[in-house]
Each structure stands twice: as structure tokens, then as C-alpha cells.
Amino acid sequence: MTLEDQITSEALKLGFDSAGFVPAGNSTTMEVLDRWLAAGNAAGMTYLSRNRRLRTDIRLLEPQARSVLVAAARYPPHSGPEGGFSSLGRSRDYHLVLIDKLQRLAERIRDLAPIRIARPAVDATPLPERELGLRAGIGWRGRQGQLVSPTGGACVVLGELLLDIELRPSRPIPSRCGDCRLCVEACPNRAISDDGLVDARRCISCLTIEHKQDFTPEMRSLVGNSLFGCDRCTAVCPWNRKAVTPVMPGLEPREMPDAEEILRMTPAMFRERFRDTAVHRLGLRRLQRNAAAVLANRRRTHGT
């Protein structure tokens, strides 16, 4: 087995769906990001503009990096994506799960190769993560703009290791979406354009997670029944039914409170319920803002 095969084998043993390799260097998709930002699609996510330069070259984050290992972890498709909490909101915080797995993978790589640097990263690090996943052969870019894995479906998250050794680059996978448009049509707010870019101003996930201020009446109506995130465009993907990889341990869903219970929560109750989930960084105030919007939408819909 090659070193790349051995590393991939260790990644699969740890529960990852797949792994691949990309040379550390310049990004190839900055023009797309710049057009998206210029059109105002990032809404209030100003950190994307602030961190733009770091995304242009991986070596700005880790000067000694020579290769990037990209690994995908599968999470369960949401059985009821029309409202409530997204799959990744219902599990243990996937950032914690992936960082732990990546650190364990780094330890195993040290047994295989003389590495000095193995820096783990998830989407909180300013990397062109989706681009890296595509170049690493993890999957292809679906029409909803997210990566689709042939073995894990559309419900995967990515993690990376920045390594100071040269590894053979993986081969990208051509798109297998065909003429399917289910993900685009599943979005109730038509936030996904025909070029696969998402308008964050209309995206339920961005509104319920990233938006920091109170909702305008229009924003409130766009939220619908969602308390945290939205899985509609990923849950509907036919490739989820073809997935053969198990769900990454730690990303299994839990029971979540409804809007009424959230409005009754105290700060202590919130911390106890959500302290190890992705919801925790949202904070109680914004979660209750979302819950109030959901209840207002229900009253409007039912005329009460």
C-alpha cells in the first residue's frame, strides 16, 4: 500500500466517509467567492470578507504545510427537514467530533511518516474548504452548492489536516447530479440560484444561525418553522439513499425542545441542554428570537 492508501485506511477506521489529498498552495476559486461577496450574498457574514486573504493560500495559515488531507464525515439525513432543528443542531457539536477524530488521525499518521506538523481544521478556520474537498476527490459540487459524496450522500461535513509532507494529489470526481434539481426546488425561499450559489439573505440556515440582530417582518416570514438551521436541500438528495458509509459516531440525533419550551428556558437551562452542541454558540437570546418567529408564523398560518 502507498502512504496515501495507508492514511486513507486509517481515516476510514476512525469513522470517516472518505479522505483525499491536495497540495498546499493557492486557492483556485477566489473569483467565485469575490463575485458572490460583491453581489451581497453573504448578508451579515462579514468574517468572510475579513478573512478573504487567508483563503487565497493555505500557506498563509501554515507556512510549512505541503499537503492538505481532507476527510468527510457523514451525518444522518433529516427525516423531517421542514422545521425544528437541523441534523447537525441535534447532535454533539460536529466541530468537537471532527477535531477529536482529526487529532487521532494525526497520531496514526505519525506512526506512518516522519511528520512534524499536522494541524487540524474545520469550517471555523478560513480555508476554501469546499474547494479542497472537490479537489481531493471527496465528491462533486451539487446544485445546492454543497459537496455530494458518492458513498456518503449530501449529508457530510469536512475536516482537514495541514501536513508538512508531500502526498500524491487525489483525482477529482465529475458531477453525477445529471438533470436532477430536487435540491434547488426544495428550498422554500428560492435561495439557491441556477449557478449553485446561495443567497444568504434568504437562506433559512443563515437567518437562524448567522444573523445576529432581530428579524424584520420579511426575515421572520422566511424562517418558517425552523428553530436552528435547515436541511431541506441536503435531505432531499437521491444520493443519500445510496450512501453506504455509517454515520460518524457522535453525530447521531437527539431529542430537541419545541418553540414553547425554548421560550420558557432560563440561561442555566439553555447551557445544560445545549452546552456540547452547535446550538450553544447561538446563545439563548437568538434561539428565543427564532422560537418567537416560529410561533408568530404558526399563528399567522392558522389565523389565530
5, 123, 179, 195: the catalytic one is 123
Q: How does DSSP classify residue 165?
A: S
**Angstrom distance (rounded) from CA 8 to CA 22:** 13
Nearest to 259 by CA among 214, 229, 216, 290: 290
100 part of the active site: no
Q: Which residues contact 284 (CB under 8 A, 6 or more apart)?
A: 265, 267, 270
Q: Which residues of 101-128 are buried (b: 16+ CB within 10 A; e: fewer)?
A: bbebbbeebeeeeeeeebbbbbeebbbb
- Count CB-CB contacts under 10 A for residue 290: 24
Cell numbers 439513499: residue: 241
Coil, strand or helix at 73: strand
- Is residue 243 packed enough to be buried (19+ CB in 10 Å), middle (13-18) or exposed (0-12)? buried
Three-state SS for 168-230 is: CCCCCCCCCCCCCCHHHHHCCCCCECCCCCECCCCCHHHHHHHCCCCCCHHHHHHHCCEEECC
Query: Which are the catalytic amino acids?
Result: 123
